[in-house]
Structure formats: C-alpha cells, structure tokens
C-alpha cells in the first residue's frame, strides 16, 4: 500500500505535470523554417531568378541571396544555415575556412573541383557536378550510334584524371576508349590520329580543349570524316556536336528541394543529378545519316536502370 500511495504522490507532483506540459508544447510547435543562403561573386539577374524560383518551391523557408562580398567569413555564419554556392569564386572563398555551415556547391565541374581539392571531398561540402557523368555520355553514344565500338577521347593535363573512370565505364558497355593527349591545340596531329582510329568522338568537359577557338577545327575535322562528336555539353551541341545529356534549372531545383528536405548530415559528398535531359542537333544528325532523334525518349531510356554515385 505504501508503494501505491508513493506512486500517486509522484503523479500528483507539480514538477511532473509542468514537465509534461512543456513537452506537449514543444511537440505542438511548428518545424522551424530553414535559413537558406545562396551566394555568388556577382549579383546577376540569373542568380536572382534562380533564388526566386527556389524560394517559390520552399515557401516555409527563408531563402535569400547575398553577394559574396557582403558575407562574413564562413566560420561566422550560423551553423544552422544551409549555404548554397553558385560560382567558383564562392567555392574558393568557402575552401579558405574549414569551419562554418554545411554547404551545397552548384555549377562546379569534376575538372574544376579536381584543380582545387584533388581527390579529397571536404566534409563540410557537397559537390553537385555540373558536367555530364561519363557513364551517361557513353550510354548516350551507344544509344545513338549502336554500331560504334571505338570511342575517341581527347584529353589534356587537367582532364587526364578522368581516363581511368572512363575506361571502366566503357568496359561495362563493351566499348573501347581510344585516347590522345592534346596539349597544343594549334597542332592538329593528335586530333587527326584520333579520328583515324575511332568510330565516334566523346568530348570531355575540358575548356582547354573544347572552347570557341577550337570548335571549328574539331567539328570540321570530325564531320569531314563522317564521325559524330558526343558532348561535351549542351552548349557545344548548339555549336555543332551531335548530342549531349544535361541538367537544366528545373532539374537542379528538384535536386536542391530534395536535399534541403534532408538533414545536412545525410548530404552526399558529391552528386550527379538524377534528373536530366538530352539535347541534339537535328541538322548534324541529318548530315551524318542518323534519323530523327527523340530527345525525351532517349533520356527516358538512359534513365532506366541508371545507378550513379
């Protein structure tokens, strides 16, 4: 009986009921809105439009853009902030400080990241790759040109590190990588050697090799031998390559929306967007004797069964 009386006295304790009341109030509180901070070196209309679009997807969060020059050092930004970097200048600024909030990095390519951090993946950064994944580009090549087996690849000192991964991805698709180093883009001999030993060219997203100055030589030389160029990006498709996969603003907004719904501790160290599209150049396709390309259907086929890190 004494134990029962003591139990009733415990239940009637003012302290216990106060604690339970406080717990109930805490449970009833709405989830705190996240502070989402986007930054870049320049405050352009494009940056503002992207910020506005993200804010429209996340009305419960505080989404804002602050130019890089107006921010304090990363270590002085509250750790609860979700920091999103939109250009390389912002990435360079963030890399100077190992302290600070968890950070999502957009608009950075594998090559650009490798030049800054090598093979390391800083724990406070999640790198969202802007260049198409090599395996996806190879699958696009096989889809559009199923008879091609030898895939020619030009590389330079900054893109050489991609070759191992490229060979592995090609092996899984029963494709052969034929590579040539192209250090001097004024010397066409490596390009001509590659063309004579390849069934198709695959462009790496290396601006030293694929840029407005080299575009004419690359395109005229490849199509002079009736070889298609895949990639390196959607911009080059407009210039005259056959096709490329790419992710546009709507795809990136969907990726960000998903990541911001998750705790930063679960963010991946690096990520390719699982949403993407296919760009193609109909005029080039006709000149190469390739039928009309249904970009949406090809993108769907590539997405089926794809597994990316």
The CATH code of the domain that includes 68 is 3.40.50
| Cα 2 to Cα 8, 9, 10, 207, distances in angstroms | 10, 11, 12, 83
Give tens-digit pLDDT for 77-98: 999 999 999 999 999 999 999 9
Inside any domain, residue 30: no
Average pLDDT of the segment spanning 102-125: 94
* Number of structural domains the chain divides into: 2
Question: What are the backbone dihedrals phi and psi of residue 224, each rounded to the nearest 5 degrees, phi first?
Answer: -65, -25
Asked if 177 and 230 sit in the same domain, the reply is: yes
Dihedral (CA of 278, 230, 187, 114) sign: positive
Are 74 and 152 contained in the same domain? Answer: no
Q: In the prediction, which pLDDT does 14 show?
A: 55
Specify whether the CB–CB gap between 265 and 80 falls below 8 A. Answer: no
Q: What token pair was written down for 118? A: 């090598």
Per-residue DSSP letters for 67-108? Answer: -GGGS--GGGS-TT-EEEE-SHHHHHHHHT-S-SS-EEEEEE
Per-residue tokens: 101: 């909030």
193 and 297: one domain?
yes
pLDDT digits (tens, 9 = 90+) for 207-236: 999 999 999 999 999 999 999 999 999 999
Same domain, 42 and 111: yes
Query: In this model, does residue 10 exceed pLDDT 50?
Result: no
Give the pTM.
0.87
User: What is the average pLDDT score of the chain?
Assistant: 91
Domain that holds residue 126: 35-130
Instruction: Tell which wins on pLDDT, 44 or 5.
Output: 44
Give the three-state DSSP class for 134: helix
Based on the domain organization, do 107 and 152 belong to the same domain? no
The pLDDT tens digits of the residues spanning 159-193 come to: 999 999 999 999 999 999 999 999 999 999 999 99
Higher pLDDT, 158 or 15: 158
How far apart CA 195 and CA 223 sit, in angstroms, is 10
Q: What is the pLDDT of residue 13?
A: 55
Which pLDDT score is estimated for 33? 80
CB 137 within 8 A of CB 177: no
The answer to whether 27 touches 40, Cβ cutoff 8 Å, is no
Q: What is the pLDDT of residue 12?
A: 55
Check pLDDT > 70 for residue 243.
Answer: yes
Rounded Cα distance, 119 and 58, in Å? 33
What span, in angstroms and rounded, lies between the C-alpha atoms of 34 and 11?
Answer: 38
Nearest to 139, CA basis, from 22, 250, 272, 262: 272
Tens digits of residue pLDDT in 256-288 = 999 999 999 999 999 999 999 999 999 999 999
Q: What's the pLDDT score for residue 306?
A: 79
DSSP 168: H
pLDDT in tens, 18-29: 555 544 443 333
Give pLDDT, residue 24: 45
263 within some domain: no
Classify residue 257: in a domain, yes or no: no
Per-residue pLDDT of 191-203, as tens digits, reads 999 999 999 999 9
Domain boundary among 62, 95, 130: 130
pLDDT at 185: 97
């Amino acid at each position: 009986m004494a134990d029962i009386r003591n139990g009733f006295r415990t239940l009637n304790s003012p302290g216990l009921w106060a604690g339970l009341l406080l717990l109930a109030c805490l449970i009833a509180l709405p989830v705190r809105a996240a502070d989402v901070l986007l930054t870049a070196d320049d405050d352009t209309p494009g940056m503002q439009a992207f910020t506005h679009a993200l804010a429209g997807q996340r009305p419960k969060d505080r989404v804002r853009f602050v130019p890089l020059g107006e921010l304090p050092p990363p270590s002085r930004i509250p750790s609860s902030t979700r920091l999103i970097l939109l250009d390389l200048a912002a990435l360079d600024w963030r890399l100077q400080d190992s302290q600070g909030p968890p950070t999502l990095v957009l608009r950075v390519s594998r090559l650009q990241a490798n030049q800054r951090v090598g093979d390391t993946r800083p724990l406070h950064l999640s790198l969202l790759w802007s260049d198409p994944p090599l395996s996806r580009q190879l699958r696009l090549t096989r889809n559009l040109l199923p008879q091609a087996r030898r895939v020619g690849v030009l590389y330079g000192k900054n893109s050489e590190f991609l070759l191992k991964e490229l060979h592995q991805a090609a092996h899984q698709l029963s494709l052969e990588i034929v590579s040539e180093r192209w250090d001097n883009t004024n010397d066409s001999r490596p390009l001509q050697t590659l063309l004579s030993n390849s069934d198709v060219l695959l462009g790496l997203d290396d601006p030293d090799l694929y840029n407005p100055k080299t575009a004419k030589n690359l395109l005229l030389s490849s199509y002079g031998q009736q070889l298609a160029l895949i990639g390196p990006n959607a911009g080059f498709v407009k210039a005259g390559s056959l096709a490329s996969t790419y992710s546009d603003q709507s795809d990136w907004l969907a990726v960000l929306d998903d990541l911001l719904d998750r705790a930063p501790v679960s963010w991946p160290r690096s990520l390719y967007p699982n949403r993407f599209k296919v760009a193609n150049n109909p005029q080039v396709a006709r000149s190469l004797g390739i039928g009309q390309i249904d970009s949406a259907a090809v993108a769907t086929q590539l997405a089926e069964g794809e597994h990316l890190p």
